[in-house]
């Protein structure tokens, strides 16, 4: 598998001093004002082979902070690459398809073949009309992607692959799939239709947090198990046998009698509603030490640490150690925290540079589809058809930390 190795001596010396990344490939560059002075750069380097990269991000408007964070991540990668023959051309998508298309037309006039961005799926709408450019988008949706675009986000297919691999390892077999009604439906439908994971049952719950507990009680048959306990206690209270008295003492400390008929739960949800779902399972007397709980990529949400119900929650994600290193370096350079997903922008630049560098300073789109795949900061990946198939790890929430379990 090709790997993105650091090759510039002076930056290697700098990295050793600062314990920076030892994984990603060919990512050692310093961005300066000349990187944005397109005409002067091209005149000065007209005898060199240039790598011109378009950058299509929401640099103004509602999602300006997202776009700026992604752009800074790309600049950070350029700083690590340290090659004056690379020029980036940032343009504003304004997070809408019309402006994304207009900017892409400008890239076309500049002879640019490869573009990092756009961020959002909606911005891809008209880009299939520009056949001469390949767009590395950060969407995690993989359906109806234009032929000239690659979904580089952490997609549900990669997450299910990681969960399936873990299920096989720990012998989990009776799983239920949960998702909120009218939301993430496309993900749940996609998961349930795949042969990779066989679900025992599939349920949906109300989007209103106040109604979630009632839905979870039905799924877990909480009231039936509670009545079973009450009936058994009444029977034991009438007995004078020693063993019955001992059993009674034990049952009086319990909330329900009998176990649920599943061994694992996959919840397709995020944020406060996910917390409500898992808290409802706890209230319904389904302990996480008896049933394994899984969700999709949460980008290491540290607010989980404060929630007792979130303990032992499992989820697939990118390499945490490298993410932390990226965050530390980003903060050191810009004195602010990055958008966590912006690590993908760093890797996108590294991927393009790697392909260009290993093809005698000439970029060819087909290099992106190397069957051996690549290794970036976020982990190993291979581009298949129109999306990045990532090799994710399984983490679980435990004792106010994220622990890798496979």
CB 334 within 8 A of CB 303: no
In the prediction, which pLDDT does 210 show? 84
In the prediction, which pLDDT does 199 show? 85
Distance CA 131, CA 113 (A): 9
Each residue's pLDDT expressed in tens, for the chain with a length of 406 residues: 544 433 333 333 333 344 333 333 333 333 333 333 344 444 444 445 889 999 999 999 999 999 999 999 999 999 999 899 999 999 999 999 999 999 999 999 999 999 999 999 999 999 999 989 999 999 999 889 999 999 999 999 999 999 989 988 888 878 999 999 876 555 556 665 555 677 888 898 988 888 999 999 999 999 999 999 999 999 999 999 999 999 999 999 999 999 898 999 999 998 899 999 999 999 999 988 889 999 999 899 999 998 888 988 999 999 999 999 999 999 999 999 999 899 999 999 999 999 999 999 999 999 999 999 999 999 999 999 899 999 999 999 998 899 999 7
Look up the pTM and report it.
0.81
In the prediction, which pLDDT does 257 show? 92
In the prediction, which pLDDT does 21 show? 36
In the prediction, which pLDDT does 22 show? 33
In the prediction, which pLDDT does 135 show? 98
Structure tokens, 43: 């005149």
In the prediction, which pLDDT does 194 show? 55
CB 70 within 8 A of CB 18: no
Structure tokens, 321: 């150690």
Residue 314, strand partner residues: 294, 396
In the prediction, which pLDDT does 243 show? 94
- Run of H or E residues at 383: strand 379-384
Distance CA 266, CA 271 (A): 15
Distance CA 223, CA 221 (A): 6
In the prediction, which pLDDT does 30 show? 30
Q: Which residues contact 296 (CB under 8 A, 6 or more apart)?
A: 156, 159, 187, 268, 270, 315, 316
């Amino acid at each position: 598998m090709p790997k993105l190795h650091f090759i510039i001596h002076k930056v290697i010396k700098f990295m050793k001093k600062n314990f920076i990344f030892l994984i990603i490939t060919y990512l050692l560059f310093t961005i300066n004002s000349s990187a944005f002075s397109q005409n002067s750069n091209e005149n000065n380097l007209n005898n060199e082979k240039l790598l011109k990269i378009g950058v299509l991000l929401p640099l103004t408007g509602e999602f300006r902070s997202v776009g700026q964070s992604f752009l800074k991540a790309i600049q950070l990668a350029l700083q690590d690459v340290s090659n004056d023959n690379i020029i980036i051309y940032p343009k504003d998508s304004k997070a809408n398809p019309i402006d994304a298309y207009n900017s892409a037309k400008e890239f076309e006039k500049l002879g640019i073949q490869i573009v990092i961005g756009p961020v959002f799926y909606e911005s891809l709408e008209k880009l299939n009309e520009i056949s001469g450019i390949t767009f590395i988008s950060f969407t995690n949706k993989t359906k109806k992607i234009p032929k000239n675009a690659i979904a580089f986000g952490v997609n549900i297919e990669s997450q299910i692959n990681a969960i399936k691999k873990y299920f096989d390892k720990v012998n989990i077999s009776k799983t239920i799939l949960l998702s909120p009604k009218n939301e993430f439906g496309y993900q749940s439908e996609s998961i349930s239709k795949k042969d990779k994971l066989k679900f025992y049952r599939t349920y949906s719950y109300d989007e209103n947090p106040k109604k979630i507990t009632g839905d979870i009680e039905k799924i877990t048959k909480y009231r039936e198990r509670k009545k079973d306990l009450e009936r058994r206690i009444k029977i034991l209270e009438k007995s004078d046998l020693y063993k019955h008295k001992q059993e009674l003492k034990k049952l009086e400390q319990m909330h329900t009698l009998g176990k649920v008929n599943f061994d694992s739960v996959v919840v397709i949800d995020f944020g406060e509603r996910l917390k409500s779902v898992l808290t409802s399972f706890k209230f319904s007397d389904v302990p996480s030490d008896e049933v394994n709980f899984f969700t999709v990529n949460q980008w290491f949400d540290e607010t989980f640490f404060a929630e007792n119900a979130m303990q032992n929650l499992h989820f697939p994600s990118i390499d945490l150690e490298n993410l932390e290193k990226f965050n530390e370096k980003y903060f050191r350079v810009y004195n602010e925290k990055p958008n966590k997903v912006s690590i993908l922008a760093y890797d996108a630049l590294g991927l393009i540079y790697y392909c260009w560098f290993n093809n005698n300073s000439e970029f060819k789109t087909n290099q992106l589809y190397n069957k051996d795949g690549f290794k970036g900061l976020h982990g190993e990946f291979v581009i298949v058809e129109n999306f990045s198939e990532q090799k994710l790890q399984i983490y679980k929430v435990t004792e106010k930390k994220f622990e890798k379990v496979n």
